[in-house]
Amino acid sequence: MSVEPEVPIVQVEEVRENPVLYKIISSDNHVFTISEHAVKLSKTLWDLITNLGLTAENALDNPIPVENVNGKNMETIVQFCERHKYDEEEPEYTNYIREFVLPEWDRQLLSIDNEELFQLILATNYLDIQKLMDYCCRVIGDMAKDKTPEELRIIYGIPTDAEDDALERSASDSPGPSG
């Protein structure tokens, strides 16, 4: 990777016991450093690192471009992964409803508006970070607790059937790619 973007590097806490760091470049050219333990929480990134053959020696010289995730989301993701990198694996679950209390630190981190949360979910899904996915689910699931259908429609921005029909009609009326 020869081009170094001219943007500030977002530093994360240095890990004394594990000095291996990787560089990630977001879609808007922000550069992040992330420790090996933290990056392992993302299956996509870790697979990429493994396939590229990055090692402790060459990792920082070869930033990994992630074109589907912008800097804002990447910052949240890096913070999350660094925070949870030494967590024990959660047991498999089989029954609904999944019960766990979202730690306060994470609740704060995920206290963002629906639009941002939506983008974060897409990024989390792309990077395949199971724990963050769980936490996003908990946040969105909690929004629905004890709410009426009308309240749910507002919270989640669910269109009514009439709105859905109108949008579908206007989509089919609009010219296609060739028109």
Binding-site string for another protein from residue 154 to residue 173, where x marks contact by CB under 8 A and - marks none: xxxxxxxx--x--x------
Mark the segment that binds another protein (CB under 8 A) among 4-12, 15-23, 32-40, 140-148: 140-148
Q: Which of 113, 172, 177, 179 binds another protein (CB under 8 A)?
A: 113
Mark the segment that binds another protein (CB under 8 A) among 5-13, 32-40, 49-57, 88-96: 88-96
Mark the segment that binds another protein (CB under 8 A) among 21-29, 51-59, 76-84, 115-123: 115-123
C-beta of 16 vs 145, nearer to another protein: 145
C-beta of 20 vs 112, nearer to another protein: 112
Which tokens in the block code for residue 140? 């969105």
Give me the count of residues in the chain.
179
Q: Is residue 16 within 8 Å of 1, Cβ to Cβ?
A: no
94 near another protein, judged by CB under 8 A: yes
Residue 110 CA to residue 128 CA, distance in Å, equals 17
Alpha-carbon 78 to chain mean position: 9
Residue 161 CA to residue 167 CA, distance in Å, equals 10
Whether a cis peptide bond, with omega within 30° of 0, leads into 97 is yes
